[in-house]
Structure 1
Amino acid sequence: MRNSISDESRFLAMILQRYPPLEAVRNYAFGRSKLVGGGEFILQEVMLADRDGSDWTAIFEIRLLDSGVYKVNGIRLRPNRANRGI
């Protein structure tokens, strides 16, 4: 059974609890992107600096839905000690 998120504020709170560096991004830059399969999903690299100045790499998985709309399906976030890319 899937959990239901009833409103945007609860969703945002859940994301920020799991990915605190996303709360106060001071700077960001889009990195590489990679189409997987026939475009069923995209991996998008984003480099960011949090409010403390720490560098992070976020990899967003963006899925193509049956409706033809792309939606974020997940995020992998790690400290940017050595950028290995996607």
Structure 2
Amino acid sequence: MKNSLPSSCLFLARLAGWLAAAFMLLAPMHSWALTEADEKGVRAVVEAQLAALARDDAATAFSFAAPNVRETVGTASRFMDMVRKSYPAIYRPASTAFLKPEDHHGQVIQRVQLTDESGSAWLALYSVQRQKDKSWRITGCQVIPNKGRMA
């Protein structure tokens, strides 16, 4: 009669490996706490860009974009056109409510609840990154309908 212990041990080792891998994939990613100064800096850059967009100051609005965005878009006027066409909720929001920014391994997410001129609620998810010169710059923005409660 053949001993089944080695195959049982192999099965258990494989199962333990799969469970460990699944746990690592499903466990929440660790977020680092931002300092109060970091939180203020992140919020300030998003607020400043929103203010520049509201006054149609393309050059200033574009200046808050990270180098990757500036390189992709090319010019301040193209940036302003892109915002008007693709992100109308952030172009001139009727109201804004900033949520607490969260750091995810050096990439900070700043959530901003917006209401547009027609009263529709939106959630803007800004990705903001610290630059080599220690300034904060916006690396991207996604705007989605906000079905949840406004702050």
Which TM-score tier does this pair reach, normalised by the shorter chain? 0.7 to 0.9
Q: What is the deviation of 1:60?
A: 0.5
Q: Secondary structure at the match of 1:13?
A: helix
TM-score, normalised via structure 1 length: 0.78
Distance 1:22 1:3 in 2: 20
Aligned match of 2:79: 11
Instruction: Summarize deviations over 1:29-68 as a string: whole Å, max 9, x none.
Output: 101210122xx22111100100111000111000112222
Q: Across the two proteins, how many residue pairs are aligned to each other? A: 79
Q: Higher helix share goes to which structure?
A: 2
Aligned match of 1:48: 114
Distance 2:96 2:73 in 1: 30
Aligned match of 1:73: 139
TM-score, normalised via structure 2 length: 0.47
Q: Partner letter of residue 5 of structure 1?
A: G
**What is the percentage of aligned positions where both structures have the same residue?**
24
Root-mean-square deviation (Å) = 1.7
Distance 1:56 1:78 in 2: 6
Q: Partner letter of residue 148 of structure 2?
A: A
Aligned match of 1:27: 95
Distance 1:44 1:58 in 2: 8
Q: What is the deviation of 1:10?
A: 2.3
Structure 1 gap ranges (5+): none
Structure 2 gap ranges (5+): 1-70
